[in-house]
Amino acid sequence: KESITMFSLVIYVPSTHADKMREALASSKAGAVGNYDSCSFTGAGTGRFRPLANSSPAIGSLNKLEEVDEVRIETVVQKQFLAEAVKAAKKAHPYEEPAIHITEIIDYKLYLGNDDCTSTSSALSRFGPISVVLEGLDGVGKSTVAEKLAAVLNAEHMMTPPAIMRTGREWFVKQDNHMRKAYYMVGNFIAGSEMQQCVEKQQRSVVLDRYFASTIAYIVGKKDTHLPLPAKEDPVFAWPDELYRPSCMIVLVLPEADRVLRRQGRTAIEETPEEKLLREDPRITERINQCYEMLGCLRVDIEGSDGVDAVVNKIIAAIEGQLTKSA
């Protein structure tokens, strides 16, 4: 087994030049995977741009907004061939300013001979673009893990509330329950739309930090704590028809002592009303985690000693298991 450095190379090109681009990439050794060559993925979409003064557009006119049928071509390339692949792509591209994205693939391993060429996320590649949501209480490490998981999967990393709503968050979290719920629900629908666009239109996987399950789990878990939780079939756990449903939802569960210790280490973070409630009534912690599972989240138990890579591997195994069952 030999460790190598691999990159994901993504190029947006007019559909009329797709074949020429794929041939140019293959000739520069991009798309060479084990005993295969010319490996790539192509997704269609619409490119949009406005040529400004001093530009020489291959398509369109100066100062006029243009829309072009384009394709997104994604391939992989070893580090030693990357410069040549980029040079070949620019030469084959009709635009003077081609859109090219390059991302390093983390922990890529090459297995020689008849073995498979794989990476940390290779088990999921057969499912195509997927959407993964990470849920869990504050302090379990969602944000750090989500960022690493997105890098491993070469996925878009998103968060809720979405960026367009984040400036008002500090004010909303101090309001009553109805205002907070409305704020988070609106954020869920915006994030859901963005996630769906990324997966279905851009053909790119997404890792989202928090979603609809968090909103409902906190509401139901905190309510009527002297009574048992509603049954899984209760309408309160029903998924809205209008809200995009991700491929897989994961809830990270950390031992409460470790979670509290992590929270206490965040000296710059003000205690939220929810965290204050959890501190005063520890029973609510397990109620919320149970609600996550009733909403369809796969529970992944982690330990305080687990490193980020170990947690990511647990998540990938859980995702693969669920997607395989539903395939």
Q: Can you give the length of the chain in residues?
A: 327
Q: Residue 66: is its pLDDT beyond 80?
A: yes
Q: Residue 268: is its pLDDT beyond 80?
A: no
Phi-psi region of 287 (alpha: psi -120 to 50; beta: other; left: phi over 0): alpha
Question: 154 and 39 share a domain?
Answer: no
Question: 154 and 105 share a domain?
Answer: no
Distance of alpha carbon 219 from alpha carbon 216, whole angstroms: 5
Classify residue 124: in a domain, yes or no: no
Question: 237 and 280 share a domain?
Answer: yes
Distances in Å between the alpha carbon of 238 and those of 228, 232, 234, 249? Answer: 18, 9, 7, 15
Range scoring the smallest mean pLDDT among 112-126, 135-149, 273-287, 313-327:
112-126
Distance of alpha carbon 272 from alpha carbon 270, whole angstroms: 6
What range defines the domain where residue 282 resides?
Answer: 131-326
Helix (H, G, I), strand (E, B) or coil at 249: strand
Q: Residue 161: is its pLDDT beyond 60?
A: yes
Q: What angle do CA 74, 80, 83 make, to 5 degrees?
A: 60
Assign 261 a pLDDT band (cuts: 50, 70, 90): confident
Question: 65 and 208 share a domain?
Answer: no
Classify residue 82: in a domain, yes or no: yes
Report pLDDT for 103. Answer: 84
Q: pLDDT averaged over the chain?
A: 86
Over residues 81-90, the pLDDT tens digits come to 899 999 999 9
Question: 254 and 232 share a domain?
Answer: yes
Report pLDDT for 115. Answer: 37
Domain boundary among 119, 141, 168: 119
Question: 89 and 151 share a domain?
Answer: no
Classify residue 66: in a domain, yes or no: yes
Domain boundary among 68, 89, 119: 119
Over residues 132-149, the pLDDT tens digits come to 999 999 889 898 899 889
Classify residue 248: in a domain, yes or no: yes
Report pLDDT for 176. Answer: 84
Question: 269 and 150 share a domain?
Answer: yes
Q: Is 167 exposed, middle or buried (0-12, 13-18, 19+ CB in 10 A)?
A: exposed
Assign 308 a pLDDT band (cuts: 50, 70, 90): confident
Classify residue 126: in a domain, yes or no: no
Report pLDDT for 70. Answer: 94
Over residues 27-62, the pLDDT tens digits come to 999 998 777 889 999 999 999 899 998 888 999 899
Assign 291 a pLDDT band (cuts: 50, 70, 90): very high
Classify residue 46: in a domain, yes or no: yes
E strands within the chain? 2-3, 6-14, 41-49, 66-78, 99-105, 109-110, 131-135, 156-159, 206-209, 248-253, 298-301
Domain boundary among 65, 96, 119: 119
Q: Residue 106: is its pLDDT beyond 80?
A: no
Q: Residue 22: is its pLDDT beyond 90?
A: yes
> Could you tell me the CATH number of the domain that includes residue 266?
3.40.50.300
> How many domains are contained in the chain?
2
pTM of this prediction?
A: 0.61
Question: 211 and 144 share a domain?
Answer: yes
Question: 204 and 292 share a domain?
Answer: yes
Classify residue 239: in a domain, yes or no: yes
Across residues 181-194, what is the average pLDDT? 94
Residue 61 token pair: 């006119």
> Could you tell me the CATH number of the domain that includes residue 22?
3.30.70.120
Across residues 7-17, what is the average pLDDT? 93
Question: 322 and 270 share a domain?
Answer: yes
Question: 46 and 182 share a domain?
Answer: no
Phi-psi region of 249 (alpha: psi -120 to 50; beta: other; left: phi over 0): beta
Q: Residue 236: is its pLDDT beyond 50?
A: yes
What is the share, in percent, of the chain residues with pLDDT greater than 70? 90
What is the share, in percent, of the chain residues with pLDDT greater than 90? 51
Range scoring the smallest mean pLDDT among 147-156, 162-171, 271-280, 299-308:
271-280
User: Which of 144-153, 205-214, 266-275 is predicted most confidently?
Assistant: 205-214
Question: 165 and 63 share a domain?
Answer: no
Distance of alpha carbon 179 from alpha carbon 177, whole angstroms: 6
Classify residue 30: in a domain, yes or no: yes
Q: Residue 128: is its pLDDT beyond 70?
A: yes
